[in-house]
C-alpha cells in the first residue's frame, strides 16, 4: 500500500474501532415543537425533494467518506446500493488516490453505473491550490468521469491537514481556486467542510463565487482531530497525538453553522447539514432550521462495513424516524416542514 492508501485504510479503521466523535452533539440542543393535533395521516407524508434539479426520494445525502484502498470498494458498493434503493444522494471520499494510482479507480467507480439520482465527486481543496487552475480543471473532469458525477464537492479539511503528521496546510489562494473552478465546470460545485463547520464570514465569502451549495460539515459528530490523534499514536508520534487531543472539539457546532451559512447567503443556495446526524430525528431538526438536506457519514460507516442488509436497515430506520418527526409536527411535505417551529438552545 502506498502512503495515501494506508492513510485511507487507517481513517476508516480508526473511525470504527475508536470513539472519534466530538465530546458533545449539538443536535441535542435543537428541539422541535410537538404538535398534539397534527391533522395529517402518516401514510400521506412525502419525503420527496430535489437538489441541483435532481429529484430525491428523501432529503438525505450519504456523505463522502471513502475510496482509494481496496476494502473501500465494498463499502462504496454497499452505500451505493442503499442510495440507489432509497433514491437519495451519495458522495464518495476524496478521489485523489485514484488520480495518482489508476489501479484504485474501481474503489470509487463501483457506483458509476448504479441508478443513484445524485452522485457527488470529491476532491480536497488543498489539491486545488497545489495544482493551480488549469490542472485542477483537468483533474476535476477526470473525477467526474470516474463516477459519472452530477456534482463535485470541494472538501475543506484544514483541521485535518494541520493536525496530521504528513498534512499539507497550504490554504493561500484556496478561495480563488474554488471561484475559478466553479466558473469553469458546468456541473454544480459545492463546498464541503469535513467536521469543523463553515462560519457566517466564510459562507459570505463563498457566496461571492458561483458555487451551487454549501455542506457545512460541522462539529458534533466525527472529529478528524480525534482520528489523527489515534493515527499519530499508532505511529508513535507523540507531538501530533497531543495536537489531535488539543483540537478534538475544534469547530462550529453543526446547527449553528447551518443557521450562520444560511443567513450569510440569504438562503439563496442550498445548505446541507452534515456533522453528527445520528438518526432521522437529527435529520428532521436539520431541515427545520433551514437545511435543504441532511448528510450522514459516520452513522452509515459501521453498517456499510458489515453488509448491504445492515446498510439498508440503518437508512430505512432513519427515514422512518424522519417521517415520525414530520407527523408529530403536523407536516406532510418537506417544503412545509421547513417552516416548522424549532427551539435552538445554543
Ligand atoms: C472515515 C471517514 C473518511 C472521510 N473522508 C472524507 C473525504 O475523503 N472527503 C470528505 O469531503 N469528507 C470526508 N469525511 C467527512 C464526512 O463526509 C463528514 O463531513 C464528517 O464525517 C461529518 O459527518 P458525521 O458526523 O456524520 O461523520 C470522512 C469521514 C469519515 C468518517
Map 141-185 to HEC letters: HHHHHHHCCCEEEEEECHHHHHHCCCCCCCCCCHHHHHHHHHHHC
Task: Identify the residue whose C-alpha is closest to ligand 1 atom 18.
Answer: 194
C-alpha 157 – ligand 1 centre gap (Å): 10
- Cβ-contact 345, 285 below 8 angstroms: no
Task: Identify the residue whose C-alpha is closest to ligand 1 atom 6.
Answer: 65
**How many CB atoms lie under 10 A from the CB of residue 235?**
13
What is the rounded CA–CA span in Å between residue 190 and residue 206?
10
Q: Give the residue, out of 65, 121, 277, with the most ligand 1 atoms within 8 A of its beta carbon, to mutate for a pocket test.
A: 65
C-alpha 79 – ligand 1 centre gap (Å): 14
Q: Which residues contact 43 (CB under 8 A, 6 or more apart)?
A: none
Ligand 1 contact, 116 CB (< 6 A): no
Ligand 1 contact, 154 CB (< 6 A): no
pLDDT in tens, the chain (346 residues): 678 888 999 999 999 999 999 999 999 999 999 999 999 999 999 999 999 999 999 999 999 999 999 999 999 999 999 999 999 999 999 999 999 999 999 999 999 999 999 999 999 999 999 999 999 999 999 999 999 999 999 999 999 999 998 888 889 999 999 999 999 999 999 999 999 999 999 999 999 999 999 999 999 999 999 999 999 999 999 999 999 999 999 999 999 999 999 999 999 999 999 999 999 999 999 999 999 999 999 999 999 999 999 999 999 999 999 999 999 999 999 998 877 888 887 7
Q: Which uninterrupted H or E stretch holds 219?
A: none
Q: Is the pTM of this model over 0.85?
A: yes
Ligand 1 contact, 107 CB (< 6 A): no
C-alpha 201 – ligand 1 centre gap (Å): 23
Amino acid at each position: 500500500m502506498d502512503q495515501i492508501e494506508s492513510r485511507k485504510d487507517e481513517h476508516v479503521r480508526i473511525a470504527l474501532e475508536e470513539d472519534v466523535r466530538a465530546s458533545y452533539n449539538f443536535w441535542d440542543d435543537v428541539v422541535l415543537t410537538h404538535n398534539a393535533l397534527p391533522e395529517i395521516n402518516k401514510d400521506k407524508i412525502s419525503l420527496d425533494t430535489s437538489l441541483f434539479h435532481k429529484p430525491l426520494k428523501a432529503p438525505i445525502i450519504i456523505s463522502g467518506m471513502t475510496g482509494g484502498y481496496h476494502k473501500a470498494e465494498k463499502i462504496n458498493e454497499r452505500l451505493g446500493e442503499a442510495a440507489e434503493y432509497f433514491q437519495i444522494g451519495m458522495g464518495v471520499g476524496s478521489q485523489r488516490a485514484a488520480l495518482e494510482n489508476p489501479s484504485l479507480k474501481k474503489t470509487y467507480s463501483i457506483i458509476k453505473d448504479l441508478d443513484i439520482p445524485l452522485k457527488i465527486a470529491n476532491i480536497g481543496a488543498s489539491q486545488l491550490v497545489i495544482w493551480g487552475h488549469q490542472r485542477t480543471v483537468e483533474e476535476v473532469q477526470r473525477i467526474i468521469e470516474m463516477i459519472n458525477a452530477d456534482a463535485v464537492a470541494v472538501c475543506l479539511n484544514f483541521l485535518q491537514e494541520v493536525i496530521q503528521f504528513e498534512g499539507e496546510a497550504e490554504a493561500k489562494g484556496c478561495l480563488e481556486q474554488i471561484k475559478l473552478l466553479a466558473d469553469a465546470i458546468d456541473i454544480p460545485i459545492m463546498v464541503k467542510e469535513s467536521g469543523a463547520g463553515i462560519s457566517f464570514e466564510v459562507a459570505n465569502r463563498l457566496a461571492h463565487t458561483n458555487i451551487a451549495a454549501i455542506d457545512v460539515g460541522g462539529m458534533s459528530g466525527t472529529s478528524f482531530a480525534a482520528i489523527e490523534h489515534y493515527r499519530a499514536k499508532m505511529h508513535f508520534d507523540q507531538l501530533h497525538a497531543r495536537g489531535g487531543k488539543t483540537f478534538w472539539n475544534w469547530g462550529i457546532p453543526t446547527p449553528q453553522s447551518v443557521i450562520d451559512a444560511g443567513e450569510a447567503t440569504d438562503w439563496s443556495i442550498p445548505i446541507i447539514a452534515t456533522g453528527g446526524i445520528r438518526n432521522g430525528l437529527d435529520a428532521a431538526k436539520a431541515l427545520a432550521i433551514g437545511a435543504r438536506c441532511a448528510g450522514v457519514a459516520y452513522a452509515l460507516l459501521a453498517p456499510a462495513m458489515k453488509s448491504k442488509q445492515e446498510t439498508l436497515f440503518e437508512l430505512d430506520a432513519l427515514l422512518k424516524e424522519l417521517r415520525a418527526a414530520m407527523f408529530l409536527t403536523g407536516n406532510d411535505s418537506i417544503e412545509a416542514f421547513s417552516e416548522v417551529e424549532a427551539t435552538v438552545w445554543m
